[in-house]
Structure formats: C-alpha cells, structure tokens
Amino acid sequence: MGRKTDITLLDEKGIRCDGRKIDQTRNITIKAGILKNADGSAYIEFGGNKIIAGVYGPRDIHPKHLADSDTGVLRCRYHMQPFSVPERKNPAPSRREIEISKVIKESLQPAVILDDFPRTAIDLYLEVLQADGGSRCAAIDAASVALADAGIPMRDMVSACAAGKVENTIVLDVNNEEDQAGQADMPVALMPHLEKITLVQLDGMLTPDEYKKCLETAIIGCKQVYEIQRSALKAKYENGG
C-alpha cells in the first residue's frame, strides 16, 4: 500500500492506469472441466491472473486422524508457481500462501455441504500459473466452479472480487499497480443467492463511509463474476460435458 509510483493511477476523466473505468472489472474468462484426472476442475483468466483449480474427492482421508465422523473435511492449498511472479518465488509454501489457503478454505466452507460425506476429504488445489493482483479472488472464483464441476452438493456458488481505494476514489477490482501504490485493497467473497459474505479482508485506510461504499462496490463485482461462473458451467454441459 501507498508505495511511490510514476504511473497515473486515475486521470481527470476517471480512467485508470489500465484503461478501465472505476466500476469496471478486468476481463474474466472461466472454463470448467479442463483436467482429465481431477473429479472437478476449472481454469480462470482474471486480468493477468492465470489459475487452475482442481478438486479430488470426496475420498479417503490421509492421515486418518484428520477424519471427522460427523462431517467431511475441506482441504485447500493455494500455491504459486516459482515463475508466476516477476522475481522467482521460492517453491516452498510461504506464510502468505498458508494464510491465503486458510481464508480461501473458509470462504468456500459455508457453501459446500460437507455433512453429506462424513470421514472423507475434499481436496482443492489452486495452482497460480501467473499472478497479477487479486489472485485470491480469482482462485476462489475458479475453485467454486471446480467444486460444482465435481458434482459436490453446494448451497450456493461463491463469487469473489476485490474493491479498493485509489486517489481517494473507490474502484472495483484492484489490479497489481493499484494494489502496490493505492490506498486500500479489500477482497470480498459472496454467496450471491444467500447474500452472505464469506471472505473479507482489508489493508489500507478507509473512513466508515468509504468502508460501506467499498463493500457495496465489491458485492456488485461479485455478482458480475457469478454470471461468468454460471455461463462457464452451462457451457460445459451444453457441449456434452
């Protein structure tokens, strides 16, 4: 946050550094069912983010002591490839990746009906091939499609999008430059039909009014993402699964 930059983040016409308007998301494309071996999968391009989500399960859980006799267990690993960022990333899981894996898992748990599968695990793997700011939201969007593609019963989809503050203006879908040099970044995940927010984080500085506006803006973004997720799933089955 708040790093110096030479880029004009927002010009006087309200156009952002990548040519978008303040209420516009980057280009998003999602494809369901792209992995042969996985029970469910999805590929997302969200701006410059390129992420594959793969789901295995419900299946036997290892190590066995993690089994829960009341419910299934959702496990999640968010993992960046060493080549996904400008400076090579050490392939071992970083503390950031471990935290993101946890918040992504907790954003999806409310939607997945785990009680139907006691003593089993649903393993969700999120492989970031290229990262471009907002990768946790893009990963959630792909994950939700992959879970549905795996036929796992869900209460709702989970759709995620960030909002933030740039040049004292609330903007939708913060990109990498805006994340580095902007004033706030707030990733949000929403179950669009149940109207429940399952992920919210923030770094930056917002007044109470801006906080409200930022949440509202992110929710609008989530609803746009939902439509894209829905068409991705429909497209797979219309094309014969």
Partner 1 sequence: MANKTIIEQLKREQILDLLQEGKRIDGRALDEPRSISIETGIISNAEGSARVKLGDTEVVTGVKIHPDKPFPDVGDKGIFICTAEILPIADPTAELGPPNENVIELARVVDRGIRETGMIDLTKLVIKENKSVVGLFVDNSVINVDGNLFDACSYASVAALLTCMIPKYELQDDQPVQIEGEKSKPPVNTIPVSVTMARIGEHIIVDPNSDEWACMNARITITTNSDENICALQKGGSDGFTFEQLIKCSELAISTGSKIRKQLEAVA
Contacts with partner 1 by CB under 8 A lie at 1, 3, 65-70, 73, 95-96, 98-99, 101-103, 106, 109-110, 186, 191, 195-208, 211-212, 215-216, 219
Alpha helices in 109-186 (DSSP H): 135-149, 176-181
Q: Residue 200 and residue 218: Cα distance in Å, rounded?
A: 10
Pick 34 or 67: Cβ nearer partner 1: 67
Phi, psi of 47 (to 5 degrees): 60, -130
User: Considering beta carbons, is residue 33 or 204 the nearer one to partner 1?
Assistant: 204
Q: Write a three-state SS string for 182-194.
A: CCEEEEEEEECCC
Our CB check for partner 1 shows the closer of 43 and 78 to be 78
CB of 150 to partner 1, least distance (A): 19
Of 129 and 154, nearer to partner 1 (C-beta) is 154
CB closer to partner 1 out of 45 and 210 = 210
CB of 163 to partner 1, least distance (A): 12
Which residue bears the tokens 């992110």?
A: 218
Shortest distance, position 80 Cβ to partner 1, whole Å = 16
How near is the Cβ of 84 to partner 1 at its closest, in Å? Answer: 18
- Within 10 Å of residue 156's Cβ, how many Cβ atoms? 18
103 phi and psi, to 5 degrees?
Answer: -70, -30
Q: Which is nearer to partner 1, 13 or 95 (CB)?
A: 95
Q: Is 110 helix (H, G, I), strand (E, B) or coil?
A: coil
Secondary structure (DSSP) of 65-102: GG--SSS-EEEEEEEE-TTSSSSPPPSSPPHHHHHHHH
CB of 178 to partner 1, least distance (A): 16
Separation in Å, CA 123 to CA 40, 168, 177: 10, 41, 33
Tell me which residue of 156, 225, 231 sits closest to 188, measured CA to CA.
225
CB of 190 to partner 1, least distance (A): 8
